Structure 1
């Protein structure tokens, strides 16, 4: 084969060879170098061994053992140059060894000595062919030092996890007679790949404890007898803070590495590592775990370290600090405890920082932060902003009736059978009169309502580390469509969306939500900085003051009366709305409001329109009892 063909063959297999200044006549030392490195790189150790002058079985086994000792995912070589001196030659090459997922890339330079044997060029075999520091009777090993998982913290720096005991099954390699048999038995019990278990053992220092599988208490109880029956297995325990406190769905759960988790993370991982299954534990997996401290070392026949070839300190891990206020969270948990299906979000009005997320029968992330529910007449907050900007006077009388048709769309005021009364709009707002609100569709354009919704953050592209939904308002094409928007029937929101609306009225400025204050990004390796959150949006001061007055009446004399609590005045609006999901009717109750600097939105699944207000009232009273 010519030098040009050898270069093309090497490139086809990923072995890069520089352009040489001269072509070798056949036979060429380049052929031997190419076949040896390509065979080693591709795992065809027999082909590589045929190009060496040592015993083929010895060379083949030595090359194969290198991959096992390093637990390497792959080798890649590039030829730096070949120099010939008569019947001797020397090839310099660069090696890149992938030590596996979440581990570093080890790079080094080495030399292949060559000589003519029987008219053919051969690699002059010795262990230093593999690495210049490797000598007869020595072997590689990878020494790793995993870092303990860091906690997720509340705003005061207290952990949002309780400690839990985990059980680690591992081995001391120098105490195992038949490593393959042990790995086969452990594989049957745990489901981990037998070859992966064996590689972990063979790549570790013989005297070191090598964790192979980690279990929580429930799983360990199921496999304990089978594990302890495996000769050579040692069981150790440790305690780590991973059991989530409230809000559990937000904090997230942590699991020991399983065969499935290895596939999920792109493995291989090392036993003893932990993986976040959901919530912030999953979103901040890399920050909470960092990366393992890794050292490539050379051991002698006694298993003692004779040289450290390379060390990587690993990426430091860090805790994740949230905005959750544990005292407010406890008050929220207590408030929702007596309801069947309810979600509550509380945040600091002046900052947008989320202080509590609590649910009963609902999911704290999927429902409270990312749910898509009709807003009902709580959307009157936003509709009123649009009306006021159009010159509407809240003192104007607007009839409230049991039912009303607007543009062909029919609206009903639940529980109202008193014919037609003509209160002021302020009274309609406080009582959540859907027929009165819908009748105002001709007093304001759909575009104006959509513009006000945008100023209150509806549809904003905010960024939280967990999936959220910022709300949606359809584009109206008729008076009927506008009426459905004003009545909150076609609008979709969730408790987080509406808590931000309440906070905006209280503070006079809409602010994007904040859940995590550090670190700044869930991805520490991202080359592009995360998008900046949307800027705060100042609201019209005159309109805001009028809406505050309306919301105070909602608690003082309207349908939100159940939210009243001692201390500072409570402001709010309540709503009840029924809608159809998958051909089944669902009835919802809303409360949106605030006390002091704490804005709250409560969504309850109930036919009682005041159910959510009652939850809010319990929350405000509970918060006061905790001196908040």
Structure 2
């Protein structure tokens, strides 16, 4: 049921209570009976009953009441009697009117009055246009003027728009120039699929000599329908620029389309021509914020000049539209896109380590920036060893301790295999960490208990209830109820993470504090789509143990200087990071998790080379330094 239908139904239900209440006040024949019948007849659409209680021509009164509803495009009228004053054979009833103009507008409320006099011993409403509204005069009619706001853009953190202006095509009419409005709407409905009655109501309620936008088309659809549209007499076309063509990251920014009949049905209410709809991404999540509201005026129109005679009411319901400012950085985004443009298939997300603000989200066409980069569920692999270090330190494990890195190892009945050449027969724990040796790291399950691993994951935000205005995933860990499960956790085989959650892990090590992600700076309070969930309370940052952070920074630097992440090395500040090789749905994937300066990244790309992710990260850091 649309918003208009719901409000009309509510008015009808209210009438059930209103009419008896009006009747209860009138226990004897008097002016009250005439007032009651007139207002109840007007409210319910029984214009014949209302007309009988006036001294005017019955047909003219009925037509005037019907025209008032049409010219206001009103969903309903409701009235409340405020009082009646009688002086001899004259009387006046004062009433409060509420008119539901639909289109998501608030109620138009005004005070009216009904002059009455005795005609052959019967009270009659003295008919004139002023009965409908005190300021309506003979030779005038109601009309509704609407001024929709343009759509505002999604912005980067420096307020640079993240979309380009694109042309939308608007089909309009000037009502006074139409010989047969109903025929025009019938033809337009047949071509476009928009309901004929909605198109006609917009024309009939408009100021006759003003241009009335009816339907907006995107470039492709307009080109398809143009010959049929141009064949409809009285239709005019204009171009309206709107910020609808998304820049990178396109799937995060989201696409925008002109409202179609299907979208109008989806939105549950009539939309005005010129309205645009965010199909996905932030454009969808912040649809109401970006489009704001339509300024609406109720006016009277002179039927001779067709000009506005007076303004009776004016309002802009809701909130003024405004841009949505994100944390995205065009320079960082370009560096990420360029890093993935060299043939790698995968994704990269960059955050500012000291704030958790998302700076770039990039992916090749095989992956989706929202559902994979922000919300994907991938095995953590040996990148989870970052979160196990604190437990190892508490167990007083010496990083110089020698632990073999065989090609195969069984722990607690679970078999682990090292992808790529072993790091050596007797490498140190530091070397195994830097080389992402699965078999060596899995063997640490006997030294680190499930409670320590779970606590470490929690400190790094795995499973934290943070939310973004888009779908996202903070990670999850399966229950650790035996040595095999604990070993699989250290090896990251029963821990699921998103690239975003791992970029935040890298940012936590670089800054010393884990922080939840931030994607939108303004508005502070999201205007979320129905699919998203509001957090019950903000997720606080977590300050990490100083010894743990110092150790991790050293280990992750070794990963780049002499470990499997050597390909990530780049000029400028030292690069820190580690790699991991994982498999999902039959695809071999390579992780890199690390940072340079205050930019923390997670890269996940396809390929059997464990260092493939590090190579993409290296190109990213080089691009960022070069300003690519």
The alignment's TM-score, normalised by the length of structure 1, stands at 0.92
Contact 2:26 2:33 in 1 (8 A): no
Aligned to 2:7: none
Aligned to 2:185: 183
Which is further off, 115-124 or 430-439?
115-124
Which residue of the other structure, out of 304, 323, 326, is the alignment partner of 1:322? Answer: 326
CA distance in 2, matches of 1:460, 1:63: 60
Mapped pair 1:370 → 2:370:
no
Aligned to 2:602: 601
Mapped pair 1:192 → 2:194:
yes
CA distance in 1, matches of 2:505, 2:513: 9
Mapped pair 1:564 → 2:569:
yes
Q: CA deviation at 1:241?
A: 2.1
Aligned to 1:465: 469
Which residue of the other structure, out of 307, 325, 332, is the alignment partner of 1:304? Answer: 307
- SS of residue in 1 equivalent to 2:375: coil
Which is further off, 529-538 or 197-206?
529-538
Aligned to 2:5: none
Which is further off, 342-351 or 28-37?
28-37
CA distance in 1, matches of 2:88, 2:22: 18
Which residue of the other structure, out of 450, 456, 459, is the alignment partner of 2:460? Answer: 456
- SS of residue in 1 equivalent to 2:373: coil
Give per-residue Cα distances to partners, 1:578-626, cap 9 Å, x unaligned.
Answer: 244xxxx232211100011100001123333222112111111111111
CA distance in 2, matches of 1:160, 1:332: 16
Unaligned stretches of 5+ residues in structure 2: 1-10
Q: CA deviation at 1:39?
A: 3.5
CA distance in 1, matches of 2:343, 2:538: 34
Q: CA deviation at 1:521?
A: 2.0
- SS of residue in 1 equivalent to 2:176: helix
Aligned to 1:37: 39
Distance 1:61 1:393, change over 3 A: farther
Unaligned stretches of 5+ residues in structure 1: 1-8
Contact 1:504 1:510 in 2 (8 A): yes
Q: CA deviation at 1:12?
A: 5.1
Q: CA deviation at 1:530?
A: 7.7
Which residue of the other structure, out of 388, 408, 426, is the alignment partner of 1:383? Answer: 388
| Count of residues paired in the alignment | 612
Aligned to 1:518: 522
Contact 1:46 1:60 in 2 (8 A): yes
CA distance in 2, matches of 1:547, 1:417: 22
The alignment's TM-score, normalised by the length of structure 2, stands at 0.92
Aligned to 1:440: 444
Give per-residue Cα distances to partners, 1:133-192, cap 9 Å, x unaligned.
Answer: 112221111112222211111112211111111111101111111111101111111111
CA distance in 2, matches of 1:11, 1:413: 72
Q: CA RMSD in A?
A: 2.6
- SS of residue in 1 equivalent to 2:348: strand
CA distance in 2, matches of 1:22, 1:569: 86
Which residue of the other structure, out of 328, 335, 353, is the alignment partner of 1:331? Answer: 335
Give per-residue Cα distances to partners, 1:65-111, cap 9 Å, x unaligned.
Answer: 22221222332222323445566543322112222234232111112
Which is further off, 555-564 or 541-550?
555-564
Which residue of the other structure, out of 48, 51, 55, is the alignment partner of 1:49? Answer: 51
Distance 1:228 1:597, change over 3 A: same
Aligned to 1:535: 540
Tell me which stretches of 4 or more aligned residues in structure 1 moved more than 6 Å: 17-22
Q: CA deviation at 1:266?
A: 2.7
Aligned to 2:625: 624
Which residue of the other structure, out of 215, 231, 234, is the alignment partner of 2:233? Answer: 231
CA distance in 2, matches of 1:587, 1:119: 95
CA distance in 1, matches of 2:260, 2:120: 53
Give per-residue Cα distances to partners, 1:360-384, cap 9 Å, x unaligned.
Answer: 0211111111111111111111122
Contact 1:15 1:77 in 2 (8 A): no
Give per-residue Cα distances to partners, 1:525-558, cap 9 Å, x unaligned.
Answer: 99xx985532211100111110111111111121
Q: CA deviation at 1:60?
A: 2.4
CA distance in 2, matches of 1:276, 1:523: 13
CA distance in 2, matches of 1:25, 1:547: 88
CA distance in 2, matches of 1:336, 1:484: 30
Mapped pair 1:548 → 2:549:
no
CA distance in 1, matches of 2:45, 2:504: 59
Q: CA deviation at 1:23?
A: 4.8
Q: CA deviation at 1:27?
A: 3.3
Aligned to 2:614: 613
CA distance in 2, matches of 1:54, 1:392: 100
Contact 1:15 1:76 in 2 (8 A): no
CA distance in 2, matches of 1:313, 1:365: 34
Contact 1:294 1:313 in 2 (8 A): yes
Q: CA deviation at 1:259?
A: 1.6
Aligned to 2:593: 592
Which residue of the other structure, out of 485, 488, 491, is the alignment partner of 1:484? Answer: 488
CA distance in 1, matches of 2:267, 2:362: 30
Which residue of the other structure, out of 413, 423, 430, is the alignment partner of 2:434? Answer: 430
Aligned to 1:3: none
